[in-house]
Amino acid sequence: MKISKPEIRTVNITRYIQPFREGGSLPGLVDADDGFSYVIKFRGAGQGKKALVAELIGGELARFLGLRMPEMVFANLSVDFGRMEPDEEIQDLLRFSEGTNLGVHFLNGAITFDANVDVIQAEEASKIVWLDALLMNVDRTARNTNMLIWHKELWLIDHGASLYFHHSWDNWQEQMHKPFVQIKDHVLLKKATQVREIDRSYKGLFTREHIAAILDVVPDEWLVEEGRTLTAAEVRAVYVNFLVGRLAESEVFLKQIEHERENSI
């Protein structure tokens, strides 16, 4: 299967509609100059640019597995855009987010996935659990599933809490080899009965070349940090090496998934 380099469009934000206050980083609903509405993850929010990087990587890797992800775009926020915003908290957020942010296509009318009501097949559940264990995504729990039902289909949103090793770069190699114990709280864990089959069938798609192609589209400005000596290219290499290393040792997180499933049944 040939996987091409992601093509991320660029749009300009034209109107700020409303915040989603249930999100810890205060994402917002906006209109853009292409005529569509987007949920924006702002670079000036609490987790900063790292959440945008994790969102882009996680979303594009989900597509490798054939999982549904809304289209992501680079969303430009112009200087002084928030000057007329009456809410001081949002005004500050917009001011600190000037430049390139990440937008996710707004799925109008979508409802939050409910594990007690919505039916999901074992294969799809296993893909999601496998991917979240690879990415060390701590935010797919019953409290906050980060999944939507839209037109009777399951869509993934918000991978911003993945790859949390990048909040402390000094130990990324140590984190690469660790099991993912938080998988015990995954909302789909009990239904993920085919993770080994998913690992055998799909791990081969997650090549160094394909992962590097995703990192290539991440803007340099999201990767370079004040006070850190790593260049954008060096940061990209860390992400690629981390993911390639975890894939090579997928047995570690597969066993963790199976162990937690046994404890939960």
Q: pLDDT 10s per residue in the chain (265 long)?
A: 567 789 999 999 999 999 987 656 789 999 999 999 999 999 999 888 999 999 999 999 999 999 999 999 999 999 877 777 788 888 889 999 999 999 999 999 999 999 989 999 999 999 999 999 999 999 999 999 999 999 999 999 999 999 999 988 888 999 999 999 999 999 999 999 999 999 999 999 999 999 999 999 999 999 998 767 889 999 999 999 999 999 999 999 999 999 999 987 6
Per-residue b or e along 49-67, where b marks 16 or more CB atoms closer than 10 Å to that residue's CB: bbbbbbbbbbbbbbebbeb
Q: How many residues does the chain have?
A: 265
pLDDT score of 169: 82
- What distances in angstroms separate CA 218 from CA 9, 72, 99, one per listed residue? 12, 12, 14
- The answer to whether 90 and 26 have CB atoms below 8 angstroms apart is yes
pLDDT score of 265: 66
> Measured between alpha carbons, how far is 132 from 54 in angstroms, rounded to an integer?
12
Question: 198-210 pLDDT, tens per residue?
Answer: 999 999 999 999 9
Rounded to the nearest angstrom, the gap between the alpha carbon of residue 67 and the centroid of all alpha carbons in its chain is: 13
- How far is it between the farthest Cα atoms of the chain? 55
Nearest to 135 by CA among 209, 61, 221, 216: 61
> Measured between alpha carbons, how far is 191 from 117 in angstroms, rounded to an integer?
14
> Measured between alpha carbons, how far is 108 from 86 in angstroms, rounded to an integer?
26
pLDDT score of 79: 82
pLDDT score of 171: 87
Integer-rounded Cα radius of gyration of the chain: 18
Write out the two tokens for 35: 């005529």
- The answer to whether 26 and 32 have CB atoms below 8 angstroms apart is no
Nearest to 163 by CA among 20, 39, 47, 43: 47
Q: What are phi and psi of 106, to 5 degrees?
A: -75, 120
Name the helix (H) or strand (E) containing 247. Answer: helix 232-248
> Measured between alpha carbons, how far is 251 from 265 in angstroms, rounded to an integer?
21
Write out the two tokens for 152: 């009777």
What DSSP designation does 190 have?
G
Nearest to 180 by CA among 132, 239, 238, 241: 132
pLDDT score of 23: 58
Q: Which residues contact 96 (CB under 8 A, 6 or more apart)?
A: 42, 43, 44
